[in-house]
Amino acid sequence: MEQSREQRREAAVNSQLEGSGRSERVDVAIIGAGPSGAVAAALLRKRGRSVLVLERQHFPRFSIGESLLPQSMEYLEEAGMLQAVVEAGFQYKNGAQFVWRDQATAYDFRDKHSPGWGTTFQVERAKFDELLIQCAAKQGAEVRFGHTVLAMHPGDAPVLEVIDENETRYEVHARYVLDASGFGRVLPRLLNLEAPTGLPTRAAIFSHVRDGLALDDFDRNKICVATHPVHRDVWFWMIPLAGGRSSVGCVAEAAFFDLPEAEREARLRTLIREEPTLNRLIGDAPFLMPVRQIGGYSANVERLHGAGYALLGNAGEFLDPVFSSGVTIALRSAHMAAKVVDRVLNGETVDWHAEYDVPLRKGIDTFRAFVERWYTGELQDIIYYPRQTPLIRRMISSVLAGYAWDESNPYVAEPVRRLNTLHEACLRM
């Protein structure tokens, strides 16, 4: 019988490996040990699958995205990680405060439309990410740090070409591959999967400060999102962390931060002092690390799956940091993909587009509608509207808490139409 193309390719790979002597097989190979990779690994181990996690860096390592959303807690709990997270001593979080000039409003995520968790944590990601992958390893996932994926051969029997820090090359034959590489976007880069995002190119400059916040200064249990008093499309975050630290940063279109690296610290300091609330709280607070900059982080792909692989979290799509949706989308994708992969490995016929891509993007598109209207100012008009209806306020709070897949919420079922109608109503009243 004539061999298929995939069978011929696998035979060629096996022939090459006979010379190198290094061939490994695993049920699921996961690229990246961040939150989505760790949760996917733990969930697949609970289903009895062999899992290999390949991570280019060594942990702990710094990462941005320190304010979680309550929806994330459900996935951490199912992955067997909740107790470790609760006991780690992270800063408790129950909501978000928004400020602009002399206006301020706070959303308590416990007062929301959707059932489920209403509280979460604000975390130093180096500690948080290391904790999650340690939990996955304790559940039997094999984790290799300092191992870089050089190439991916998709198909019914996908193969990864890997190199370690000793420049030893080997290949991993997996029954399925999950890309959880975050901003590294390994498979989109290797397989030319990138697609336009439709969002402007934005950047952020940020650092940590010793905040010295007194109890009556600011509610440490909430993230602060502040709009620049002059430039309404420029905004700040202040995320209180455990131990008297806060993460602070400013986001704007990339050209706004077109300056030499040596001037970043002075630029961030000046911007903080221009915003009245942040100036009062942390205007002169010393930076605890060099001011960093990231840009061009918004990303998209044509589809979130292919022959023998699926993309998780930021490896597939990242919108914007304004509503802290990144980790929630990452964990949601890990939760969904683990279930579908398990069915694939059981020999079931699976429609990845209908069962993963479409439902995952539903929540992403909800966040997208909110993000787009934040930058036009429409969502800010809604948030700062002085006579908010409690029912609608709880619906908005649910989305801000991460429940962007709960279609019992009209602002999830029809986010664009509902937000547009609500904004028009706010302007008329």
- Convert the pLDDT of each residue in 246-299 to its tens digit: 999 999 998 999 889 999 999 999 999 999 999 999 999 999 999 999 987 777
Is 7's pLDDT higher than 60? no
Give the chain's radius of gyration (CA, Å).
22
pLDDT at 16 over 60: no
Query: Is residue 43 over pLDDT 50?
Result: yes
Q: Which helix (H) or strand (E) holds 332?
A: helix 326-345
| 8 A C-beta contact, residue 396 and residue 411 | yes
Residues 282 and 292: beta-carbon distance below 8 Å = no
Higher pLDDT among residues 4 and 91, named by residue: 91
Cβ pair 24, 160 in contact under 8 A: no
Rounded mean pLDDT, 321-340: 96
Average of per-residue pLDDT across 408-429? 95
Output the CA–CA distances (angstroms, integers) from residue 267 to 62, 65, 230, 256, 263, in the order listed: 22, 21, 16, 10, 6
Residue 26, strand partner residues: 174
Write out the H or E segment, with its range, that includes residue 41.
helix 35-46
Number of Cβ within 10 Å of residue 87's Cβ equals 9
Beta bridge partner(s), residue 348: none
Q: Is 81 helix (H, G, I), strand (E, B) or coil?
A: coil
Q: Give the pair of three-digit tokens for residue 68.
A: 């979680």
Q: Which residue type occupies 267?
A: R
Residue range 139-183, pLDDT digits in tens: 999 999 999 999 999 999 999 999 999 999 999 999 999 999 998
Q: In whole angstroms, how far apart are CA 43 and each of 7, 200, 305, 373, 407?
A: 30, 35, 19, 35, 25
Q: How many CB atoms lie within 10 A of CB 6?
A: 16
- What is the β-pairing status of strands 235-240 and 222-227? antiparallel
Question: In terms of Cα–Cα distance, which of 139, 146, 142 is closest to 174?
Answer: 142
132, with CB counted inside 10 A (0-12, 13-18, 19+), is buried
